[in-house]
Amino acid sequence: MTWLALQRRRARQRSERLREFTPSPVDAASYRTEIERRAGALTPDAVDEATGHALDRLIDSWADQWDAAVVREYARYRLDQDLELAELRARHAAAEVLHRDLTERATDVDLAVQATRDALSGGPRQDRP
Amino acid sequence: MTDTMRLRPPTATAPPTADPGLIAGRPRSAWLHIVVLILAFGADAGAFYQVIGAVMWDQHAIVLLIVVIGFATTVVYLAHMTGTLLRDRADDPGNRTVRFLWGVVPAWLLLGALGFWVRLDFEPPPSGSGSILDIADETATTPANDANPLLGALLFAALYIGIGLVAALGAYFTHHPLQSRYATAVRARARTARRLARRTAHREFTAAELEAWQAWAARMDLVAEEHRFDRSRFSDELKSLARHRMAEASHDPAVTDALLRPGRDIGTGPARIDPR
């Protein structure tokens, strides 16, 4: 197995750990039924033009709980993602350092080739006009 | 790149060892020298096999082999160094490394004299003694050698001096310090280029993978926002459902009109998630 193939295999194994964020579902049917039940339980004269928001605070509290659940579950999800990202950043930083080191080495070796070639040829090389 | 370049011919100020032709590589004679040197090394090993075997005949075969190879390598290298030092001196009269010849040449002569003396004075081990030389006795040792030790010793000396001359002359005519340094630098550059290619691929691969994961994380931020927005819309739906049910129960157009207002003004939605 070549080195690049090994890299690809590791990347594939890592990508298998990718999963889309899916929060715990809200049982919409049961909430609708509950609203139907509570709205039906009110007497026809209990609501007038000014009291149409009788169930709003209850629904808002439910919405806040659903929202808090999403935020909480996403924070847990992002922790795993951030750990993967941290590992990838570390690997990339290490690769950058090694690459930079080898680039400098290549520059030195180029200098050595040029110097030894000049010495062997008896003078510096000139570009063809 | 070399097609677009040309070499300046050696000038009067160029060092005496300058030889632009060697940039293209070693001449074929250099490879011939290497082949001859390998063959000479084999012949030297054979000559020393007889010499060392006569003294260390009771040693294990592996020990004998190591000593023979060590001796042969030493004498060939000494002869080679003699030629190299003389060539350095010829190229550069100010070169002071030539003084090592005072150690190299006597050492080479001493080893040859030692071999000559052993061939002359030491008898081969008795046949059937279990020596590794028993086989050699049957195949390599001639009756003439057994009868006349001087002849065997002279043969050894001739071989020794001949191989020494081959190694020394070959080194003298093929050695070129600048060409060696240039060849070393070119090999190092080729090796570094291969390593740099692999390192560059590695760096690009890690960068691309990191970028893909960052894009995925950004997309998941949006997905989380969408989920929150969906739940906010569902709460609006529930409020709308409650108003409908209450309006239906009241059977009063004024109440219905007040409860079911046009537009989407129910609820404000959640604040955005800040993943940082």
State percent of chain B over pLDDT 70.
79
A123, B259: Cβ pair inside 8 Å? no
A88, B7: Cβ pair inside 8 Å? no
Size of interface A-B (CB pairs under 8 A): 225
- Which has more pLDDT, B121 or A124? B121
Nearest by CB: B245 against A39, A43, A116: A39
pLDDT of residue B191: 97
Burial of B98 (0-12, 13-18, 19+ CB in 10 A): middle
Most confident of A30-34, B19-23, B47-51, B236-240: A30-34
Residue A32 CA, chain-centre distance (Å), reads 35
pLDDT of residue B127: 55
On whether the CB atoms of residues B155 and B46 are closer than 8 A, the answer is no
Quick one: closest CA in A to B189, which residue? A109
Instruction: Give me chain B's average pLDDT, please.
Output: 80
pLDDT of residue A37: 92
Residue indicated by tokens 């030092």 = B85
Contacts of B98 (CB under 8 A, 6+ apart): B85, B86, B88, B89
- Which has more pLDDT, B221 or A18? B221
For B65, B67, B82, B139, the CA distances from B53, given in Å and listed in that order, are 9, 10, 28, 15
pLDDT of residue B3: 45
Q: Which residue type, as a one-letter code, is found at position B270?
A: P
B144 falls in which pLDDT band (50, 70, 90)?
A: very low
Q: Which helix (H) or strand (E) holds A102?
A: helix A56-121
On whether the CB atoms of residues B212 and B240 are closer than 8 A, the answer is no
pLDDT of residue B124: 65
Smallest Cα–Cα separation from B164: which of B63, B76, B229, B235? B76
CA distance B19 to B160: 33
CA distance A92 to A98: 10
Q: Which of A51, A121, A125, A126 to mutate to test the interface with B (most CBs of B within 10 A)?
A: A121
Counting as low any pLDDT under 70, the low residues of chain A are: 1, 48-50, 52, 125-129
Q: Could you tell me the pTM of the whole model?
A: 0.64
pLDDT of residue A4: 77
- Which has more pLDDT, B118 or A99? A99
